Amino acid sequence: MTASTRSLILAATLSVLAVAGCNLAPHYDAPKAETPPAFKEAVVDKNAAEGWKVAEPRDSEIKGNWWEVYGDPQLNELESRVEISNQTVAAAEANYRAARALVSEARAALFPTLSVAPSVIRSRSSASGGSSNTTIVSSGPGTNGSGTGGSTSGTTGSTTGNTGTTTTGQGQTTTTNGGNNNGTRTLYTLPLEASYEVDLWGSVRNAVAQDRYAAQASAAQVATALLSTQSQLAQDYFQLRAVDEQRRILGTTLADYQASIHLVRTLFTNGLASDEDLAEADNQLDSAEAQATDLGIARAQFEHAIAVLIGVPPARFSLAVRPFNPALPVIPVGIPSDLIERRPDIATAERQVASTNAAIGIARAAYFPQLTLSASAGFESTTLPQLLDWPNRFWSFGPELAQILFDGGARRAATEQARALNDQAAANYREAVLTALQSVEDNLASLRVLSQELSQQHGATVAAQHTVELSVDRFKNGIDSYVNVITAQNSFLTSREAELSVQLRQLVASVNLVNNLGGGWDRAHWGRTERLAEHPGSETNKAAPGDTAAAIPNPPPLPSSDIRPEEILKQNAEDMTPPPPADSH
């Protein structure tokens, strides 16, 4: 290698190092989203039990296993199975692993590409295609020459054997190309090639960054899918328990109606009640029984939904009847700006903005030339034993600089598209923040209003109970017909079911509030999400101990004990829901 060649290579290397740090992506700052200093609906009412509180510095976050605040061991056990068995979460994890693999694929472009392609080629040229001898006659003084495997005779040189050049006589030159006289040859080649595209303008680095941000967005999507599934499971579980409670209410009501029929028949036998009274009592009992039976559909559907959420076939899963606990947990509510750190869906939107910002750098790098360094070396021979002989070596090295001179505006359009996609991602991010703020405000308002409604509905239930007491007394004394008793009893049943509905809506709103506050997730949990994706659960579709289809019949059996007529009002009083607490703070 001459000194001038070495100087040229050194200059090229220094130039590459000088521009290798260029990055044409715009400087990235997370989009700004307006957040108020406090939630509008987070108004503290000391006389109501909303189920939430304004967070204090010591208690500003929801813990990771947020469902434990409800104090239900069976719910805790079911929620623990979502992470390892739910198929939606498993699909999100697989999507994250695919995104992470794209990062490794893009990072590979930062290194040279090495390849080896040994070959054995057997060929034969046609008789007129150059396998015969070719003689070139030139003038001028000649010198004795030699050719590889060549021989000369007379004043015109002729060559046999391998390629050679012979000069004879007065400078007559004979050059032959080809193989043997029959034109057949075998060529053995062992090449090693290397290629490296110098990342002068940050195109490769921005591609790596783009995929890395996309993988982080995918990791946040895993957290979103997990939180959403856990929230849905909690809602289905509470709705199933509410159905069980409604059946319990109907069961005790049926016992009341059966006792009422017993009373009417006794009065009818003594001539103190009419056939119409007896028919109305029978109709009321049959209607209540049909309503209780119809609840079996809802219970079965909620049970099946829970089975699917924990990755178990519905045929292998059942839940026993347990008491309904309407108590609300106290949920700490922070400030609106906390949502940006605590909501995984907002984190997803922000990472997508960063990804599209890196794409702008990729599009802008296309305006500049691409520098590729290529090198090859190896051995080549027509005989295999001599393949690795040093004289049979070959090599080549050189840079290649490619620049597009005209593309009809394609690069400008690609850059405009990248900027437009970045603007779109930023708008989606701001919309995600606004939607998150809205969802929190909605559920805060729901909990506040439902707290008042529950107190009012409980008062209506107590009043309906008193009406039943009065109507039964008036019927016993022959003042009113039994129709008034039926009307009062139906009104009482409707009030109790309405109170249960409000309690269920409160629980669902509290679950939604936890979900909308991020469920204990924050940006620091990306590492945990990555570990979860690296080791996905292997217990998919496996039933937990005790999961059986025949353990609990559906719908649950109704109470079968007989209640005497004089115990009707006593049972109503004992079965009433206790009044809601006046203050939970």
Pair 290, 348 in one domain: yes
Q: Whose CA is closest to 131, among 153, 159, 173, 165?
A: 159
Burial 110-136 (b: 16+ CB within 10 A, else e): eeeeeeeeeeeeeeebeeeeebebeee
Pair 288, 333 in one domain: yes
> What pLDDT, on a 0 to 100 scale, did the predictor assign at position 265?
83
Token pair of 441, please? 């405000």
Pair 46, 144 in one domain: no
The SS3 of residue 268 is helix
Q: Kindly state whether residue 220 falls inside one of the protein's structural domains.
A: yes
Token pair of 120, please? 């054995």
Pair 92, 156 in one domain: no
Phi, psi torsion values for 158, nearest 5 degrees:
-130, 145
Burial 447-480 (b: 16+ CB within 10 A, else e): bbbbbbbbbebbebbbebbebbeebbeebeeeeb
Pair 170, 290 in one domain: no
Token pair of 191, please? 């090449």
Pair 443, 505 in one domain: yes
Pair 154, 64 in one domain: no
Q: Which amino acid belongs to residue 202?
A: G
Q: How do 184-198 and 119-124 pair as beta strands?
A: antiparallel
> What pLDDT, on a 0 to 100 scale, did the predictor assign at position 61?
66
Q: Kindly state whether residue 269 falls inside one of the protein's structural domains.
A: yes
> What pLDDT, on a 0 to 100 scale, did the predictor assign at position 240?
96
pLDDT tens profile 414-455: 999 999 999 999 999 999 999 999 999 999 999 999 999 999
Pair 226, 277 in one domain: yes
Q: Kindly state whether residue 566 falls inside one of the protein's structural domains.
A: yes
Pair 98, 144 in one domain: no
Kindly report the number of other CB atoms within 10 A of residue 141's CB atom.
7
Query: Rounded distance, CA 373 to CA 366, Å?
Result: 18
Q: Kindly state whether residue 391 falls inside one of the protein's structural domains.
A: no
Query: Rounded distance, CA 37 to CA 417, Å?
Result: 36
pLDDT tens profile 337-388: 888 888 999 999 999 999 999 999 999 999 999 999 999 999 999 999 999 9
pLDDT in tens, the chain (585 residues): 556 555 555 555 545 544 455 788 888 888 888 888 888 887 665 555 667 777 665 555 677 789 999 999 999 999 999 988 888 888 888 888 899 899 999 999 999 999 999 999 999 887 765 544 443 333 344 433 333 333 333 333 343 344 444 444 444 434 444 444 457 889 999 999 999 999 989 999 999 999 999 998 998 998 899 999 999 999 999 999 999 999 999 888 888 888 878 878 887 888 777 788 788 888 888 888 898 889 999 999 999 999 999 999 999 999 999 889 998 888 888 888 888 888 999 999 999 999 999 999 999 999 999 999 999 999 999 999 999 999 999 999 999 999 999 999 999 999 999 999 999 999 999 999 999 999 999 999 999 999 999 999 999 999 999 998 898 888 888 787 777 888 888 899 999 999 999 999 999 999 999 999 998 888 777 777 667 666 655 444 444 444 544 445 555 454 444 334 344 445 555 555 666 665 544
Give residue 163's domain range.
126-182
On the 0-12 / 13-18 / 19+ scale of CB atoms within 10 A, 49 is: buried
Q: Kindly state whether residue 375 falls inside one of the protein's structural domains.
A: no
Tell me the CATH number at 257.
1.20.1600.10
In the block, residue with structure tokens 């529950």:
454
Q: How many domains does the chain have?
A: 2
Token pair of 16, please? 């590459």
Q: Whose CA is closest to 302, among 347, 240, 259, 373?
A: 240
> What pLDDT, on a 0 to 100 scale, did the predictor assign at position 128?
67
Query: Rounded distance, CA 324 to CA 507, Å?
Result: 11
Q: Kindly state whether residue 334 falls inside one of the protein's structural domains.
A: yes
Percentage helix, strand, coil, to 5, in the chain?
55, 10, 35
**Cβ contact 503:580 at 8 Å:** no
Pair 46, 97 in one domain: yes
Pair 207, 176 in one domain: no
> What pLDDT, on a 0 to 100 scale, did the predictor assign at position 60?
53
Pair 322, 446 in one domain: yes
pLDDT tens profile 514-556: 999 998 888 777 777 667 666 655 444 444 444 544 445 555 4
> What pLDDT, on a 0 to 100 scale, did the predictor assign at position 154?
39
Q: Kindly state whether residue 196 falls inside one of the protein's structural domains.
A: no
On the 0-12 / 13-18 / 19+ scale of CB atoms within 10 A, 34 is: exposed
Q: Kindly state whether residue 188 falls inside one of the protein's structural domains.
A: no
> What pLDDT, on a 0 to 100 scale, did the predictor assign at position 550?
45
Number of H helices, E strands in the chain: 12, 10
Helices 482-516, 275-309: axis angle to 10 degrees equals 10
